Chains A and B, each alone.
Chain A
Amino acid sequence: MANPVERVFRDEGGRVLATLIRLVGDFELAEDALQEALAAAMLQWPNEGVPQNPRAWLVNVGRHKAIDRVRRQASFSEKQKQLEYEIVSEQAAVNDDGEDAGVEDDILRLIFTCCHPALASEAQIALTLRTICGLTTLEISRAFLVPEKTMAQRLVRAKGKIRDAGIPYIVPSRELLAERLDGVLAVVYLIFTEGYAATGGDALVRGELCKEAIRLGRLLAALMPQHPEINALLALMLLHDARRDTRATPDGSIILLEEQDRSRWDKTQIADGLARVEAVLRTPGPPSSYAVQAAIAALHMRVERYEDTDWPQIAGLYQVLLRIHPSPVVELNHAAAVSMVDGPEAALRLVETIAAKGELAGYHLLPALRGDLLRRMERREEAVAAYKEALKLVSLEPERRFLDRRLAELG
């Protein structure tokens, strides 16, 4: 039987923490108080049953634990400050009866604080997963393939910086909001791609990361409905995630899009993603980069058979993406799409142009694509050379195996 306290922590932990931070005015104090409240829950709930409103229970107990902590630490000269704090806490707790309004702001504040640009990117990710998603330090360390101690230190340093550098616990002002939201979405997408990438490590944990990223996306979309780029990112993640299980064999070999078993794609999730993409594309104004990427994913995911893929539209969307968000990797993906519309020769010309610019020097997918195009043009020897070049640059085992497979096919 799953531990009910763990359950509540997973579902509500972020919200409880967010409210406690607002009530006690200190990140670390709130975290310690939450830990103590959870410990109390683990002792009492098995005997007394899970309370009707577990979140409110944890907030109230947490608040009292925080007051206790402050009392224990306060010196005589700080008595005054501490009393004021207690009064503030009492008042705030009374207002907390109007549940959700305050809680929403609290969780937004927490998200923006965890993703503050003054924190290192890896710290933002760790803090978000720990405090909002409720993953344990061990789970996060496994997902990012670092020792648990390293991850624990990363979290300690991040919280230390919030405290010592005076990072404010607020939803950013109007002028900063767009830029800060970009930062939050970047963190969410980094969490997703970390889970999605076909790299080593515990496959279950990585799937968990995708789910957490999607959860965060849903949370943000619900809290900030006036920002379509959130929905665009959510759609993008839903669509990718819908086919996650079909991308690799049990032993970790890559299964290409054209080979994936579409009957195992999550149809509900695809429908959800498609609906969001359509809604986003209907909103006025230029599309965000996420919106265009989601539209491309939608074109892949909405057809039953690979052969029905609308490549001209996809190629066109990549051109749009290049205007919004120029990058050599996007250029490469564009070339791959072009090969399906205008044939491998046209794509090869594009690939050579990209290669000449030299920005993708160490990137194995460039020679891999070249090899693919040459293979389709039946220029066998050149294809072999290209695949071999790619093999020199590849680092992940599944990708290495894939390239070996291509070489073997060429004989």
Chain B
Amino acid sequence: MQYLLLIYQNEASRPKTDDARNKLFAEYGEFTQSIIKSGNFKAGDALQPVSTATTVRVRDGKTVTTHGPFAETREVLIGYYLVDAKDLDEATGMAARIPSARDGSIEVRPILSYK
């Protein structure tokens, strides 16, 4: 089964020093390599900060474009992984190893497959 691991974090807890940034970068690199090696990795990216986000809605045929994420919350989407896993436990096991799981939240959502 395929799962999307959505990484949410409070932007205020992003690393502030170069050292902290490099350390986090290295940890992510390690994690990514490990799931590539184990054959689970399908895709993954960090996202640019939420200040670069734009939300689009079409209502009554009219397109409304607004600045910012769709919902103003403390934790924002900062990245994702698309993984292959044999079941939910394997997917949540991977999610728990994502570095941001320590101070953020990872949503694990199965991909809907059309038969």
Binding site for B on A (CB under 8 A): 116, 118, 164-168, 170, 172, 176
Contacts and interface: CB of A to CB of B under 8 A. Distances in A.
B1 interface: yes
Interface residue tally of chain B, by bracket? 10 to 19
A166 B93 CA distance: 13
Contacts of B32: none
Contacts of A118: 88, 92
> Chain B binding site: helix, strand, loop or mixed by DSSP?
mixed
Contacts, number: 25
Contacts of B85: 166
Nearest to B2: A166
B89 A168 contact: yes
A116 B89 CA distance: 10
B11 interface: no
B6 to A, nearest CB: 14
Contacts of B91: 166
A165 B88 contact: yes
B87 interface: yes
A172 to B, nearest CB: 8
9 contacts: A164-B110, A165-B108, A166-B1, A166-B87, A166-B91, A166-B110, A167-B88, A168-B87, A170-B89
A165 B91 CA distance: 10
Nearest to A164: B110
Contacts of A164: 110
Nearest to B93: A176
A170 B88 CA distance: 12
A9 B64 CA distance: 57
A176 B89 contact: yes
Given A168-B88, A172-B89, 5 more contacts: A116-B88, A166-B1, A166-B87, A167-B88, A170-B89
Contacts of B1: 166
Nearest to A163: B110
A118 B107 CA distance: 11
Interface in B78-115: 85-89, 91-92, 108, 110
Nearest to A118: B88
